[in-house]
Amino acid sequence: MSYKQQVAEKLAAALQTLGAPDFTPEKVVDLLETPPNPAMGDIAFPCFQLAKALRKAPPLIAQEVAQQVNGAPVKEVQAVGPYVNVFLDQAIVAQEVVGTILRQKDAYGSRNVGQGKKVPIDLSSPNIAKPFSMGHLRSTVIGNAIANIMEKHGYAPVRINHLGDWGTQFGKLIVAYKKWGDEAKVKAEPIKELLALYVRFHEEAEHDPSLEDQGREWFKKLEDGDPEAARLWQWFRDESLKEFMKIYDLMGVKFDSFHGEAFYNDKMDRVVALLEEKGLLTESEGALVVTLDEYGMPPCLIKKSDGATLYATRDLAAALYRHETYDFAKALYVVGNEQRLHFQQLFKVLEKMGYEWAKEMYHIPFGMMLKDGKKMSTRKGKVVLLEEVLAQAIDDVLKVIAEKNPTLENKEEVARQVGVGAVIFHDLKNYRLNDINFSWEEMLTFEGETGPYVQYTHARACSLLRKGGYEQPENGAALAEGALESKEAWAVVTLLNSFPEVIDRAREEFDPSQIGKYVIDLAQAFNKFYANVRILAEEEAVKTSRLHLVAAVVIVLKEGLRLLGLQAPEEM
């Protein structure tokens, strides 16, 4: 039980005595605050909400409550105006928190909320035959971090790469390849060459509109199973996936399924039949739709007047397939904010079809990756390629290593961990709904709120443990009296104590930035402790106790970075 919960139980018992039985420990814990200044205590309880129930002024209630709260882990309680300020016993808390982390190691903060239930997560999903741009980074790293967080809490995430491998653009690409393509060039640099053909198609189509008709014709051939169209499409897909895998491997992102849009081609007729059977289809201007007037939404288009199915039909087929295949507890779609209405419609149509499980489907939107304040566009060739960004980041780190630590072993591996980490962290430290402006400078700086700063802090703490000849005990650790009684040590202990709560919030809100901000805070608190407290130059018992705290920081920083999809080098 966390210290917040223990304090909440004591407060709830006091409120029971005073005549406010509705304030249960669960309700009290939600009201607890962290005072803005540590001098005001570790936990604060505001009494405003009690005024009505107890018919007294909040400051008076605070005084009465303060008199009744005592016993470990509480050291002192003060009534300050309408607040009850609780000071924890630092020695007891430090002993318990550090001991727990050293015992549990990287399992610290784990919970079995999910009980092994499956959670398909739709993430990354680039379009084949197009480059993996910085725009695709967001879905990939946000989705991967959410999968790691769900796993930490006992769920079994299923990472699905719903590739954009179908649609009219493939008809256009086939036309472009047949007119201007060169097989050897495509084999040498598939994505670059296919993108050049795609961009050229749109440039030429501005002067020759008949190209658009040819593109549609070739896509129709592809849909009808024409052997040449199918062969070219499969070749474009295979070559694209090989290129994408280089990037995924570099980033340490793995997938359980690559079923893209094409996989659901033969599963859509069933959806239309089910909607018909349930009496949900309405004809509108020759098209078939499901009306959603009762939810204040426009109708969901299922079949066009020419008989072609749409995104919604395909996503309904995918939802049914995923539920039947995985019997999921939740299904997550990490897709840009601009698709919000599409997913609202999708989930409501499934509810109208009578599927209760649709209530456990979540769209996890995110803002755009901008360049110079503008959206990136593949069609116009205005993209920043993720592969180039990662290569540049790794190269920049290698230069820093050559300058600062030229004798570092396995410098290429460390440069990869730090360079790739810088790019991932630059995204995940931001709340996902915010737009992010792509900036080399901000991403690759090694100071301030960056991935390299957190990784460097972890490496510095590892170095301290090596210098101190530290050996981690098997079963927790006894701390020498007074060894951690500085304000700097207490700041580190309280942050370590809050790690499980931070993971809870990140999971509940599908928000990896909670962990991004947390590891920055912990790194900053540790660096203050390192700068102000003598760690190695003390007598043995004190030195060992302080190294226990350093070891706990190493465990939590490494695990926090892992949840975000970053590695934690021990030397930098």
What local confidence, expressed as pLDDT, does residue 230 receive?
96
* Residue recorded with tokens 């999921």: 328
Buried b / exposed e across 373-407, counting CB within 10 Å, b at 16+?
Answer: eeebebeeeebbbbbebbeebbebbbebbeeeeee
What local confidence, expressed as pLDDT, does residue 378 receive?
54
Rounded Cα distance, 407 and 386, in Å: 30
Q: Helices (H) and strands (E) in the chain — how many of each?
A: 21, 13
For the segment 244-254, what is each residue's pLDDT rounded down to a tens digit?
999 999 999 99
What local confidence, expressed as pLDDT, does residue 2 receive?
83
What local confidence, expressed as pLDDT, does residue 383 receive?
66
Q: Are strands 361-363 and 287-290 parallel, antiparallel or unpaired?
A: unpaired
For the segment 285-329, what is each residue's pLDDT rounded down to a tens digit?
889 999 999 999 999 999 988 766 688 999 999 999 999 999 999
| Axis crossing angle, helix 411-428 with helix 386-404, rounded to the nearest 10 | 130
What local confidence, expressed as pLDDT, does residue 381 receive?
55
What local confidence, expressed as pLDDT, does residue 279 receive?
97
**Burial environment of residue 476 by CB neighbours within 10 A (0 to 12, 13 to 18, 19 or more):** middle
pLDDT over 90 (residue 55): yes
What local confidence, expressed as pLDDT, does residue 382 receive?
61
For the segment 73-100, what is each residue's pLDDT rounded down to a tens digit?
999 999 999 999 999 999 999 999 999 9
For the segment 224-272, what is each residue's pLDDT rounded down to a tens digit?
999 999 999 999 999 999 999 999 999 999 999 999 999 999 999 999 9
Q: What is the 3-state secondary structure (H, E, C) of 504-533?
A: HHHHHCCCCHHHHHHHHHHHHHHHHHHHHC
Token pair of 427 as six digits: 């995204």
Instruction: Identify which of 162, 176, 120 has the alpha carbon closest to the alpha carbon of residue 262.
Output: 162
What local confidence, expressed as pLDDT, does residue 276 receive?
96
Token pair of 447 as six digits: 């100071």
Instruction: Classify 565 as helix, strand or coil.
Output: coil
| Axis crossing angle, helix 227-251 with helix 210-223, rounded to the nearest 10 | 90
Q: Is 57 left (phi over 0), alpha (psi -120 to 50) or beta?
A: beta
What local confidence, expressed as pLDDT, does residue 445 receive?
75
What local confidence, expressed as pLDDT, does residue 102 receive?
96
Confirm if 480 and 552 have CB atoms less than 8 A apart: no
The secondary element (H helix, E strand) that includes residue 135 is helix 134-152
Rounded Cα distance, 217 and 223, in Å: 10
What local confidence, expressed as pLDDT, does residue 447 receive?
81
| Extents of the domains making up the chain | 3-88, 118-262+326-370, 386-564
CA angle centred on 528, ends 524 and 530, rounded to 5°: 115
What local confidence, expressed as pLDDT, does residue 69 receive?
95
Rounded Cα distance, 91 and 89, in Å: 6
For the segment 501-543, what is each residue's pLDDT rounded down to a tens digit?
999 999 999 999 999 999 999 999 999 999 999 999 889 999 9
Find the mean pLDDT for residues 483-489: 95
Q: Say which residues have a Cβ less than 8 Å from residue 152's Cβ, sequence separation at least 6.
A: 109, 110, 111, 503, 507, 563
Find the mean pLDDT for residues 122-142: 90
What local confidence, expressed as pLDDT, does residue 244 receive?
94
What does residue 379 show for φ and ψ, rounded to 5 degrees? Answer: -55, -40
What local confidence, expressed as pLDDT, does residue 133 receive?
79
pLDDT over 60 (residue 379): no
pLDDT over 70 (residue 462): yes
| pLDDT band with cut points at 50, 70 and 90 for residue 182 | very high
CATH class of 386-564: mainly alpha
Buried b / exposed e across 55-84, counting CB within 10 Å, b at 16+?
Answer: ebebeebbbbbbebbeeebbbebebeebbb
Confirm if 302 and 350 have CB atoms less than 8 A apart: no
What local confidence, expressed as pLDDT, does residue 380 receive?
57
CATH class of 3-88: alpha beta
- Topology of the domain covering 118-262+326-370: Rossmann fold (3.40.50)
Q: What is the 3-state secondary structure (H, E, C) of 205-259?
A: HCCCCHHHHHHHHHHHHHHCCCHHHHHHHHHHHHHHHHHHHHHHHHHCCCCCECC
DSSP state of 296: T
Please provide the average confidence, as pLDDT, over all residues in the chain.
Answer: 93
The secondary element (H helix, E strand) that includes residue 411 is helix 411-428
| pLDDT band with cut points at 50, 70 and 90 for residue 493 | very high
What local confidence, expressed as pLDDT, does residue 308 receive?
66
